[in-house]
Amino acid sequence: MIVVKLGGSLAKSGLLVNCLQKLNQHYKNSSVVIVPGGGAFADQVRSAQQQFQFNDHTAHKMAQLAMQQMALLINGLNNNFVIAHSVALLPSLLKQQKTIIWSPDLNELDNAGIKPSWDVTSDSLSAWLASTLSAKELVLVKSAPINKNYTLKQLAEADIIDPSFCNYVSQVDYKVTVINANEL
Protein backbone atom coordinates (compact mmCIF):
# COMPACT_ATOMS: atom_id res chain seq x y z
CA MET A 1 0.00 0.00 0.00
CA ILE A 2 1.18 3.47 -0.92
CA VAL A 3 0.33 6.78 0.73
CA VAL A 4 0.48 9.75 -1.66
CA LYS A 5 0.35 13.23 -0.19
CA LEU A 6 -0.81 15.80 -2.72
CA GLY A 7 0.37 19.28 -1.81
CA GLY A 8 -2.38 21.82 -1.43
CA SER A 9 -0.53 24.17 -3.76
CA LEU A 10 -1.16 21.77 -6.66
CA ALA A 11 -4.67 23.21 -7.04
CA LYS A 12 -3.36 26.77 -7.14
CA SER A 13 -0.63 25.87 -9.66
CA GLY A 14 -3.11 24.11 -11.96
CA LEU A 15 -1.37 20.74 -11.57
CA LEU A 16 -3.96 18.95 -9.42
CA VAL A 17 -6.13 17.52 -12.21
CA ASN A 18 -3.08 16.25 -14.08
CA CYS A 19 -1.73 14.64 -10.88
CA LEU A 20 -5.03 12.87 -10.26
CA GLN A 21 -5.03 11.53 -13.83
CA LYS A 22 -1.46 10.28 -13.46
CA LEU A 23 -2.28 8.68 -10.11
CA ASN A 24 -5.27 6.96 -11.65
CA GLN A 25 -3.11 5.58 -14.48
CA HIS A 26 0.09 4.77 -12.60
CA TYR A 27 -1.44 3.17 -9.49
CA LYS A 28 -4.55 1.68 -11.11
CA ASN A 29 -4.08 -1.79 -9.61
CA SER A 30 -2.43 -0.70 -6.38
CA SER A 31 -3.77 0.17 -2.97
CA VAL A 32 -3.40 3.95 -2.68
CA VAL A 33 -4.40 6.41 0.01
CA ILE A 34 -4.29 10.08 -0.99
CA VAL A 35 -3.62 12.62 1.73
CA PRO A 36 -4.70 16.09 0.57
CA GLY A 37 -2.93 19.23 1.63
CA GLY A 38 -5.10 22.09 2.79
CA GLY A 39 -4.20 24.45 -0.05
CA ALA A 40 -6.04 27.76 -0.29
CA PHE A 41 -8.37 26.63 2.50
CA ALA A 42 -5.41 26.31 4.91
CA ASP A 43 -4.06 29.65 3.69
CA GLN A 44 -7.34 31.20 4.84
CA VAL A 45 -6.85 29.63 8.28
CA ARG A 46 -3.36 31.16 8.48
CA SER A 47 -4.77 34.57 7.55
CA ALA A 48 -7.62 34.28 10.04
CA GLN A 49 -5.25 33.26 12.85
CA GLN A 50 -3.01 36.22 12.10
CA GLN A 51 -5.99 38.57 12.11
CA PHE A 52 -7.86 37.20 15.13
CA GLN A 53 -4.91 35.77 17.12
CA PHE A 54 -6.62 32.51 18.12
CA ASN A 55 -4.51 29.65 19.47
CA ASP A 56 -2.68 26.93 17.52
CA HIS A 57 -5.08 24.22 18.72
CA THR A 58 -7.99 26.02 17.04
CA ALA A 59 -5.91 26.72 13.94
CA HIS A 60 -4.84 23.06 13.76
CA LYS A 61 -8.45 21.88 13.82
CA MET A 62 -9.39 24.44 11.18
CA ALA A 63 -6.45 23.30 9.01
CA GLN A 64 -7.71 19.72 9.28
CA LEU A 65 -11.08 20.99 8.05
CA ALA A 66 -9.16 22.56 5.15
CA MET A 67 -7.80 19.09 4.35
CA GLN A 68 -11.37 17.77 4.46
CA GLN A 69 -12.43 20.45 1.97
CA MET A 70 -9.59 19.45 -0.34
CA ALA A 71 -10.67 15.80 0.01
CA LEU A 72 -14.13 16.81 -1.19
CA LEU A 73 -12.61 18.80 -4.06
CA ILE A 74 -10.48 15.83 -5.14
CA ASN A 75 -13.48 13.53 -4.92
CA GLY A 76 -15.48 16.00 -6.99
CA LEU A 77 -12.78 15.85 -9.65
CA ASN A 78 -12.67 12.04 -9.63
CA ASN A 79 -15.69 10.33 -8.13
CA ASN A 80 -14.08 6.91 -8.65
CA PHE A 81 -12.05 7.70 -5.56
CA VAL A 82 -13.56 6.99 -2.14
CA ILE A 83 -13.38 9.31 0.89
CA ALA A 84 -12.52 7.78 4.25
CA HIS A 85 -13.00 9.85 7.40
CA SER A 86 -11.46 7.35 9.81
CA VAL A 87 -8.21 5.43 9.81
CA ALA A 88 -10.18 2.40 11.06
CA LEU A 89 -12.12 2.31 7.76
CA LEU A 90 -9.03 2.30 5.55
CA PRO A 91 -8.07 -1.42 5.70
CA SER A 92 -11.49 -2.61 4.50
CA LEU A 93 -11.57 0.02 1.74
CA LEU A 94 -8.04 -0.88 0.64
CA LYS A 95 -9.14 -4.48 0.09
CA GLN A 96 -11.53 -3.17 -2.59
CA GLN A 97 -8.48 -1.81 -4.48
CA LYS A 98 -10.01 1.63 -4.84
CA THR A 99 -8.04 4.81 -4.48
CA ILE A 100 -8.94 6.35 -1.14
CA ILE A 101 -8.85 9.99 -0.14
CA TRP A 102 -8.18 10.39 3.56
CA SER A 103 -10.30 13.12 5.15
CA PRO A 104 -8.86 13.26 8.67
CA ASP A 105 -11.18 13.04 11.65
CA LEU A 106 -10.48 15.84 14.13
CA ASN A 107 -10.95 13.74 17.26
CA GLU A 108 -8.97 10.81 15.89
CA LEU A 109 -5.90 12.99 15.41
CA ASP A 110 -6.33 14.56 18.85
CA ASN A 111 -6.52 11.08 20.39
CA ALA A 112 -3.36 10.11 18.49
CA GLY A 113 -1.50 12.92 20.22
CA ILE A 114 -0.75 14.93 17.08
CA LYS A 115 0.83 18.24 18.12
CA PRO A 116 -1.36 21.26 17.22
CA SER A 117 1.20 23.41 15.43
CA TRP A 118 1.92 24.84 11.99
CA ASP A 119 5.10 22.72 12.16
CA VAL A 120 2.82 19.69 11.69
CA THR A 121 1.08 20.00 8.34
CA SER A 122 -0.41 17.42 6.00
CA ASP A 123 3.20 16.36 5.25
CA SER A 124 3.67 15.07 8.79
CA LEU A 125 0.10 13.78 8.93
CA SER A 126 0.76 11.71 5.80
CA ALA A 127 3.89 10.26 7.48
CA TRP A 128 1.87 9.46 10.61
CA LEU A 129 -0.78 7.79 8.46
CA ALA A 130 1.79 5.78 6.47
CA SER A 131 3.27 4.51 9.74
CA THR A 132 -0.15 3.74 11.20
CA LEU A 133 -1.12 1.75 8.09
CA SER A 134 2.29 0.06 7.69
CA ALA A 135 2.59 1.44 4.17
CA LYS A 136 5.40 0.31 1.91
CA GLU A 137 5.94 3.80 0.50
CA LEU A 138 5.10 7.45 1.13
CA VAL A 139 5.25 9.84 -1.82
CA LEU A 140 4.97 13.59 -1.25
CA VAL A 141 3.95 15.39 -4.45
CA LYS A 142 4.82 19.08 -4.46
CA SER A 143 4.40 21.95 -6.91
CA ALA A 144 7.81 23.36 -5.92
CA PRO A 145 10.99 22.26 -7.70
CA ILE A 146 12.75 19.49 -5.78
CA ASN A 147 16.52 19.29 -5.62
CA LYS A 148 17.24 15.55 -5.78
CA ASN A 149 20.53 16.07 -3.93
CA TYR A 150 18.80 17.50 -0.85
CA THR A 151 18.24 15.40 2.23
CA LEU A 152 14.88 15.52 3.97
CA LYS A 153 16.41 17.88 6.52
CA GLN A 154 17.51 20.22 3.73
CA LEU A 155 14.03 20.05 2.17
CA ALA A 156 12.57 21.06 5.54
CA GLU A 157 15.07 23.92 5.85
CA ALA A 158 14.03 25.06 2.34
CA ASP A 159 10.33 25.00 3.42
CA ILE A 160 9.52 22.26 0.89
CA ILE A 161 8.35 19.91 3.66
CA ASP A 162 7.17 20.84 7.12
CA PRO A 163 9.61 21.16 10.04
CA SER A 164 8.23 18.11 11.91
CA PHE A 165 8.26 15.72 8.96
CA CYS A 166 11.80 14.45 9.61
CA ASN A 167 10.80 13.46 13.16
CA TYR A 168 7.83 11.48 11.84
CA VAL A 169 9.95 9.50 9.35
CA SER A 170 13.20 9.17 11.32
CA GLN A 171 12.67 5.47 12.11
CA VAL A 172 10.19 4.17 9.55
CA ASP A 173 10.37 1.03 7.44
CA TYR A 174 8.72 2.50 4.37
CA LYS A 175 10.35 4.32 1.46
CA VAL A 176 9.97 8.12 1.47
CA THR A 177 10.02 10.05 -1.81
CA VAL A 178 9.52 13.78 -2.36
CA ILE A 179 8.85 14.74 -5.97
CA ASN A 180 7.66 17.59 -8.10
CA ALA A 181 4.22 17.05 -9.64
CA ASN A 182 5.75 16.80 -13.12
CA GLU A 183 7.71 13.72 -12.01
CA LEU A 184 4.63 11.73 -11.00
Check if CATH label 3.40.1160.10 holds for domain 2-183.
yes
Position with higher pLDDT, 110 vs 175: 175
124 CB-side CA count, 13 A: 22
Q: Is 134 left (phi over 0), alpha (psi -120 to 50) or beta?
A: left
For the stretch 14-42, pLDDT in tens is 999 999 999 988 887 789 999 999 999 99
pLDDT at 3: 97
Distance CA 132, CA 51 (A): 35
Dihedral (CA of 102, 104, 63, 116) sign? negative
pLDDT at 65: 97
For the stretch 84-99, pLDDT in tens is 999 999 999 988 878 9
**140 vs 103, 119, 130, 143, CA distance in Å?**
17, 16, 11, 10
Ordered by start, the domain boundaries in the chain are: 2-183
pLDDT at 105: 93
Model pTM score: 0.96
Distance CA 71, CA 91 (A): 18
